[in-house]
Structure 1
Amino acid sequence: MTVSYQVPPVRNDRKAHLIGGGIASLSSAYYLINYGGFQGMNITVYEDLKVWGGAMEASGDSKTGAAYIMRGGRMFDKEAYSALYDLLTGVPSLEKPGNSCADDIRDFSAYKPTDSHARLIEPGPVKIDASKLGLNLADKASFVEFTLLPEHVLDGKKINEFFTPEFFTSNFWFLMRSTFAFQPWHSLTEFRRYCLRFIHEVPKLYNMSGVWRTKYNQYDSIIAPLIEYLKAHGVHFFNDTRVTNLDFTVTEPDRWVHRIDLVHGGVPTSISVSQTDLVFTTLGSLTSASIIGDTQHAPRPASQADVDKDPTWALWKEIAKKQPDFGRPEVFIGNYKNGAFESFSLTFDKNTTFFDKYIAWSENQPGTGALVTFKKSAWGLSLVVPHQPHFANQPETVQVAWAYGLFPDEVGEFVKKPMKECTGEELFLELCNHLGFADDFDKMKVNATIIPSFLPTTMAQFNVRRPGDRPQVVPKDSRNFAFLGQFVEQPEDVVFTVEYSVRCAQIATFTLCADKSGKPPREVTPIYRGWLDPMVMARATKVMILG
């Protein structure tokens, strides 16, 4: 059924200020133009960095192919990413005239379906049957109880406070941990939300056959076309712009932002904001204070000060002082080691040895295997070998892959150093040993560039939290401001997804662009609630019990 919406008339004087250059702000600009009655020329996006896309930024050298960098990647599925597909349906493809970006994802996922033959790996290396989830009777009972309990009962608890120690040796845990980046000390509340939101994927976790992917990395496939669309509509983009403070006016019953303080190109300035203008602020960042190494050098040591002085977190801390319901950033970055993550990008120029060996060993062509996870890796190591080319500008002679570790403080099995202290070459050596490729290491590293990225805050959104630690997208009595990103509260939805950022953009836009009667220009895209579908639950329960 097609739903029609009443878009507010365009007002030439109303402005929107979007702080942060990630997918949440970019999505907000799209919805403000299409449903909020805003002209693109009256929307400005501010970003401290020289690049756009936030955590979805990726880069590479199209001339030599020697320095492609991916700090992470994203998997989607047909059901759970409804808000993302809503957005991308309206963004024209840069790849195929007449297609939308949503069409591109659907077409590519049909052309290159995922069916992993090497999902979980024991030492040897031995590809094991990951369809056997390996839960004991106590944990099966706990899982059922866990899904039925009200969320508030779990507030403030860790995952390892609910399940037995054996749970964390099961295939189910390794599948969930590597797919979504959970650790035993992370929030039980967040883990429950994930288990419910992706309960329909449980029967397919062992081979990832429910996964949809973009043809290229997510910057080229999503961010670049979205920016192209917004620029075509006149949206202004300002890099090298650090927003340092927001000043609020508080009356009964309204609150609004009346001034933005920022530094652009090293010059401090302020912008006056009216009650009818809008200010959307992305709180925190998953890639803030990132530290990059290279093939011969480890990333320099990180510190709490690196995180504390990051502009995205500094702004949230400043805002949080002003009103009690603006969240508690210290819960997420008070100890950066709780959220640390490390990835490394692998670029092979005119040397196919690694890819040839991977294809023969895994029985997966690039782009069809999703994650390869090594169960006994102290680093929590997983490998992703995407479809080639993975960058729109990637030469035919170049192949790229990436890997990540969830425990960068731990010492490797083969390279006896903490992951975070390893050079790119040492990271590659550890990976090759886990794959059983060590005998050909010297051959594989010829013309190979390995770029480590240490990310202090990537998993901070999974920290144990309580009500109020994350602010509402649109705080009570807000006249003109909203909060965006992975550190705002959206009931039932899951952080660490593009979906979360897009949906909060919808909530912010449709709430603050309501008409005088309070009616929004359209409804927020509904969350897929597979846990309420008896058939979905029956299939998942069968796998959990028999696996």
Structure 2
Amino acid sequence: MNKNQLHKLAALGGVIIGAAAGAGVARHLHRRKIEQEASRVHPGRKGEPQAYLIGGGIGALSAAVYLIQDGGFLGENIHIIEGLDVLGGSNDGAGNVTQGFVCRGGRMLNEETYENFWELFDSIPSLDWPGKSVTEEILNFDHLHPTHAQARLIDKHGNILDVHSMQFDNKDRFLLTKLLATPEEKLDNLTIEDWFKDDPHFFTTNFWYMWQTTFAFQKWSSLFEFRRYMNRMMLEFSRIETLEGVTRTPYNQYESLILPLKSYLEGYGVDFSIKAVVEDIDFEEESITATDIYVKENGHERVLHLEEGDLCIMCNGCMSDNATLGDYRHAPDYRVDHPMSATLWKKVADKKPSLGNPAPFFTKPEETNWESFTVTCRGNRLLKMIEQFSGNIPGSGALMTFKDSNWLMSIVVAAQPHFKAQDQNTTIFWGYGLYTDQEGNYVKKKMRDCTGEEILLELLGHLHFEEHTKDILEDVVNVIPCMMPYIDAQFQPRAMSDRPHVVPSGSTNFAMISQFL
């Protein structure tokens, strides 16, 4: 895959593109490393170049892998600096059988695309399958647990809808075809609703309900991103009602993806700093050459000075910034101030305007938020009821969306166990709602104001399991809601120039990786 293809992939957004961007950054800057090798001097550092990766998500971890594999870097000279207390960025998963488990979100993999992802993980050893790669482990598991959703959309009466037809009329088809043929240069700051303003029928189709909830698009989302996802996910059109193209990991994606990456990098001596917040970066006046990185760690400030030949690779935006958790008795806080990654991005962009513009993405939390929830139960009573309702055993279905839900609530039941810490008597499933500012159909509160128990009661109403409520609640260990005010930030309407290039024009040692490129 050449540089232009990598840059195109990086611009598409989505968590898997973090790996693609990481590969592109490492390889691009590796060429500069070779050119500068003869003149590099690092007194007291054995003459070796240092690489500083700001952010510990999948993009930074992937870049570190490629710096080792393709860039000739020693692991001990690669430094990953993460502001949270755990690596993984938006790929997370945590918990135990007594307090409950939580995943903030889910990432959709696809065997037929994401070439960089599969290439990367084909070089990462599985933690659970000796002699095999993570790619082999995932594909083996997925082939043994194929997806074929039988309850993709459900109406207010609890009826599973026939969604084999996308319900397009000729105007829908015309506008979709026209969009795919329209150059991106003509789509600055337009929303999906702008494009279909004379076609309200489009937003009533099976296609829109399934597409919207599969990827978390809103009517006010960027037309840029809608068009890009339409092109990227073209193969899903013929199977979006069953989501057969979804590839599943054996466990949650923190344990199945992030931990093997971390283990691989630890084996090479990569230096990890967690709970270390990068507060600013200085540059040379005349070029995009990072000179100093300002880090606050354990209440102390330190400055990392870059010598000639050192690299700085920064995550310029994280969609799960300011995520907060609630529990069975408490709603999560709604915190929108000072998102960590966006605050740093604004500081560097103010110094170097070619580094993009975070404002369209991180200043409208009322447009970019949604809320997820993870339900942990003793026994499998509730999962068995959902299986009988949907026709899918755990792990064989996909999103079940309650299309008349005021919150536009969806749930998905993964194969059990979804966490290595689960025992045989513990089951979990995950769900989310797109409209957190709306009052529930059964619980008369905004979703964002609801406790975990109240969110579960709303779900049981949509499933029409009310007569079993008492027994179900007795099985519950916890319901952990997660409010994420910027989780849809990458879909915000914006101009082409608001997203910077992975390697900005004029850069000598600085690059960016994220969903915002």
TM-score, normalization by structure 1:
0.85
Query: Structure 1 residue aligned with 2:113, among 80, 92, 100?
Result: 80
1:326-359 Cα shifts (integer Å, max 9, x gaps): 111111111211110100010012x321011011
State the shift of 1:147 in Å.
1.1
Structure 2: state its 5+ residue gaps: 2-26, 38-45
Structure 1: state its 5+ residue gaps: 489-547
Q: Which residue of 2 aligns with 1:398?
A: 426
> For 1:314 and 1:28, how far apart are their aligned partners in 2?
22
Partner-residue secondary structure (3-state), 2:355: coil
1:469-509 Cα shifts (integer Å, max 9, x gaps): 11111100111010111112xxxxxxxxxxxxxxxxxxxxx
1:328 aligns with 2:361: no
* C-alpha contact 2:370 2:487 (8 A) present in aligned 1: yes
Letter of the aligned partner of 2:481 in structure 1? P
Q: How does 1:102-501 map to 2 (within 5 A)?
A: 102-163=135-196, 164-251=199-286, 254-300=287-333, 302-305=334-337, 309-349=338-378, 351-448=379-476, 449-488=478-517
Partner-residue secondary structure (3-state), 1:102: helix
Q: Which residue of 2 aligns with 1:539?
A: none
Q: Which residue of 1 aligns with 2:75?
A: 40
State the shift of 1:467 in Å.
1.6
Q: Which residue of 2 aligns with 1:506?
A: none
* C-alpha contact 2:311 2:509 (8 A) present in aligned 1: yes
* C-alpha contact 2:322 2:336 (8 A) present in aligned 1: no
1:71-94 Cα shifts (integer Å, max 9, x gaps): 111121122211110110000001
Which segment drifts farther, 430-439 or 22-31?
A: 430-439
* C-alpha contact 1:45 1:238 (8 A) present in aligned 2: yes
> For 2:160 and 2:129, how far apart are their aligned partners in 1?
38
1:156-214 Cα shifts (integer Å, max 9, x gaps): 11101112111111000011001110000110110011111111110000111111110
> For 2:223 and 2:213, how far apart are their aligned partners in 1?
16
State the shift of 1:33 in Å.
0.3
> For 2:277 and 2:424, how far apart are their aligned partners in 1?
39
State the shift of 1:290 in Å.
1.1
Partner-residue secondary structure (3-state), 1:126: coil
> For 1:150 and 1:437, how far apart are their aligned partners in 2?
49
Partner-residue secondary structure (3-state), 2:351: coil
* C-alpha contact 2:102 2:480 (8 A) present in aligned 1: yes
State the shift of 1:311 in Å.
2.2
* C-alpha contact 1:65 1:394 (8 A) present in aligned 2: no
State the shift of 1:393 in Å.
2.0
State the shift of 1:383 in Å.
0.3
* C-alpha contact 1:65 1:398 (8 A) present in aligned 2: no
Partner-residue secondary structure (3-state), 2:283: strand
* C-alpha contact 2:288 2:352 (8 A) present in aligned 1: no
Query: Structure 1 residue aligned with 2:104, among 48, 71, 76?
Result: 71
Q: Which residue of 2 aligns with 1:95?
A: 128
> For 1:368 and 1:356, how far apart are their aligned partners in 2?
13
1:418-439 Cα shifts (integer Å, max 9, x gaps): 1000010010011111112121
> For 1:57 and 1:12, how far apart are their aligned partners in 2?
37
> For 2:288 and 2:159, how far apart are their aligned partners in 1?
60
> For 1:230 and 1:44, how far apart are their aligned partners in 2?
11
* C-alpha contact 1:48 1:240 (8 A) present in aligned 2: yes
> For 2:339 and 2:214, how far apart are their aligned partners in 1?
28
State the shift of 1:304 in Å.
3.6
Letter of the aligned partner of 1:355 in structure 2? L
Partner-residue secondary structure (3-state), 1:186: coil
RMSD: 1.7
State the shift of 1:57 in Å.
1.5
Letter of the aligned partner of 1:345 in structure 2? T
State the shift of 1:65 in Å.
4.2
> For 1:376 and 1:65, how far apart are their aligned partners in 2?
34
1:380-400 Cα shifts (integer Å, max 9, x gaps): 111010000001221111101
State the shift of 1:12 in Å.
5.6
Partner-residue secondary structure (3-state), 1:321: helix
> For 1:304 and 1:127, how far apart are their aligned partners in 2?
37
Letter of the aligned partner of 1:236 in structure 2? D
Partner-residue secondary structure (3-state), 1:451: strand
State the shift of 1:284 in Å.
1.7
TM-score, normalization by structure 2:
0.90
* C-alpha contact 2:323 2:485 (8 A) present in aligned 1: yes
1:235-274 Cα shifts (integer Å, max 9, x gaps): 01111101011000133xx431111111111101101101
1:405-429 Cα shifts (integer Å, max 9, x gaps): 1111111111111100001001001
* C-alpha contact 1:53 1:219 (8 A) present in aligned 2: yes
> For 2:389 and 2:182, how far apart are their aligned partners in 1?
43
> For 2:179 and 2:288, how far apart are their aligned partners in 1?
39
Letter of the aligned partner of 1:119 in structure 2? R
Counting matched residue pairs gives 476
1:99-155 Cα shifts (integer Å, max 9, x gaps): 101011110110000001111111221111111111122111111111111111222
Letter of the aligned partner of 1:468 in structure 2? S
1:28-76 Cα shifts (integer Å, max 9, x gaps): 1001000011000100101111111010021012xx3432011111121
> For 2:125 and 2:412, how far apart are their aligned partners in 1?
28
* C-alpha contact 1:283 1:485 (8 A) present in aligned 2: yes
